[in-house]
Structure 1
Amino acid sequence: MISHPSRQCTVELQALPSRIGQVRRILSAQLRYWHLDQLIDRAALGVTELLTNVHRHAQPDKMCTVEIELLLDRLTVSVRDHDPRLPVVEDAAELSTCGRGLAMIAAMSESWGARRDGEFGKVVWFTLPTAGSASERAPAPDLGVVDVEPVGVAVEVEGAPA
């Protein structure tokens, strides 16, 4: 069996405005460590929006977990909180100063979604393609079927910066 390399970073926090800035700095440092500088602005914007939603709406508390995962050619950023209510994308009034966060995440990401997490929580996530991912490359020419015997590969996962 071939295992695929994965990199992961997890941060637990209370979604207060001062902590949101800290998470953006952690996310930026982690993406630089993974040599994904081109994703920093979009990932920081997306995580800010998700954490702001936790700060504004999550009940009974503002505790949450941010997870950043790089798997092959895709970065996934997710925020898990203790409020089971799933977010709803609504049309914001023209002069409204809020209510556009999820629509913005949908526009700037490859995909996004929300799912229940157990009885008392949810996870809201978005994905960004890394440079050179399948969605950005031209399709490879079809050279016919090649029969290759899979070989087991053990991959040591790099963690957070030391």
Structure 2
Amino acid sequence: MSVAADRDSTGGSNEIGPPQHSAGNGLQPTTHEVPMTMTASRPTGHPGYSETLPRRPESAATARRLVRTALAAWGMEELAYDGALVVSELVTNAVKHARSEVIRLVVSRPGPATVRIGVVDKSKAPPRHRPSGSEDDSGRGLVLVAGLAAAWGTDQLPWGKRVWGELRRKDSW
């Protein structure tokens, strides 16, 4: 993606911003790669958000912020609490079980009243419900996701999997 352009060819400094295109003014667009969260159009006409995160426990906080930001941008703040819980559990599972240094968070809108929160990792092993006792520190994440999400599942990918949960506005059920 081209995100920068030379301001002028007479010694002016480069400035980060959208590419500058103007006939006859001497501005030549250049390309610089800048890490950023991308927004892309989806078939429903709604944007989606994604970000690559390090496979570390602290990434759950970043993921929660991204989900809350996406939901606020879409006017769906009523789903923020459940969305933060779902993404926390999905990221925590990926941190524990993935086989790569990074994971990918994807927040999309497959429909006007639906948000899909997905975490992609390079492990092909599907998530499993584990029995957990009252004294166990873990093992309840997928039960929580299943309880909060209108739907959830796993998509197998050539290099790993995507585990996702969908939240829907209550008035759309």
Aligned match of 1:17: 57
Q: In the aligned structure 2, how far is the partner of 1:82 from the partner of 1:6? A: 27
TM-score (normalizing by structure 1): 0.75
Aligned match of 2:67: 27
User: Between Structure 1 and Structure 2, whose CA radius of gyration is higher?
Assistant: 2
Asked if 1:83 corresponds to 2:123, the answer is yes
Q: CA deviation at 1:36?
A: 0.8
Q: When the two structures are aligned, how many residues end up with a matched partner? A: 130
For 1:58, the aligned partner's letter is: A
TM-score (normalizing by structure 2): 0.70
For the aligned residue pairs, the C-alpha RMSD in angstroms reads 1.4
Cα gap change, 1:116 to 1:4, in 2 (>3 Å):
closer
Counting only pairs closer than 5 Å after superposition, residues 74-113 of structure 1 correspond to structure 2 as 74-113=114-153
Asked if 1:66 corresponds to 2:105, the answer is yes
Higher relative contact order (CA 8 A, sep 6+): 1
Q: Would you say the 8 A contact 2:146–2:152 is kept in 1? A: yes
Q: Would you say the 8 A contact 1:14–1:62 is kept in 2? A: yes
Percent pairwise identity: 25
Q: CA deviation at 1:42?
A: 0.5
Q: In the aligned structure 1, how far is the partner of 2:73 from the partner of 2:146? A: 26
Q: Where in structure 1 are there 5+ consecutive unaligned residues?
A: 136-162
Q: In the aligned structure 2, how far is the partner of 1:127 from the partner of 1:113? A: 9
